[in-house]
Amino acid sequence: MSTVENGSTVAVHYTGAYTGGEVFDSSYSRARPLEFTVGTGAVIPGFDNAVIGMTTGDKKTVSIPVDEAYGPVNPEAIQAVSKTEFPDDFVAEVGGSVTGQANGQNFMASIVSVEDETITLDFNHPLAGKELTFNIELVSIT
């Protein structure tokens, strides 16, 4: 029976949760496993490392620290942007999100605050600064 190593292409089912148990994502809800090649950076480092050594049918639960997940919150990624940068009909609501393109790159940010002249956006990944727990089931190795 083969085991997962760097370079293996795998299919896994997973459920991702915060340390308090609240689920934030699950491949089971999509009825389709996640497929990726181990060691290519397609998934967060802690998830990549967690599947190494698994064999088809194995299940495990792993806790992934912030540094092996989406990293710590970067305060420099929270920026006030002039309202003139948004369309006239844009309605900014705290907790909402915006998408756009800057310097040829797509971005998504959450709205942190709305002031008279500016909208403060958080460009950090929504899971930055969080330790995560994953239940992983290895479906196949190719």
Q: What is the CA radius of gyration of the chain?
A: 19
Any domain includes 54: yes
Closest by Cα among 8, 79, 87, 1 to 40 = 8
Domain that holds residue 53: 9-71+127-141
Query: Are 46 and 80 members of one domain?
Result: no
Q: How far apart are CA 79 and CA 35, in angstroms?
A: 35
Query: Are 18 and 41 members of one domain?
Result: yes
Block residue for tokens 């959450």: 110
Query: Are 66 and 16 members of one domain?
Result: yes
Model pLDDT for residues 39-80, shown as the tens digit of each residue: 999 999 999 999 999 999 999 999 999 999 999 999 999 999
Model pLDDT for residues 6-28, shown as the tens digit of each residue: 999 999 999 999 999 999 999 99
Residue 3: predicted pLDDT = 96
Any domain includes 4: no
**What total of structural domains would you count in the chain?**
2
- To the question of pTM greater than 0.95 for the whole model, the response is no
Any domain includes 35: yes
Query: Are 23 and 90 members of one domain?
Result: no
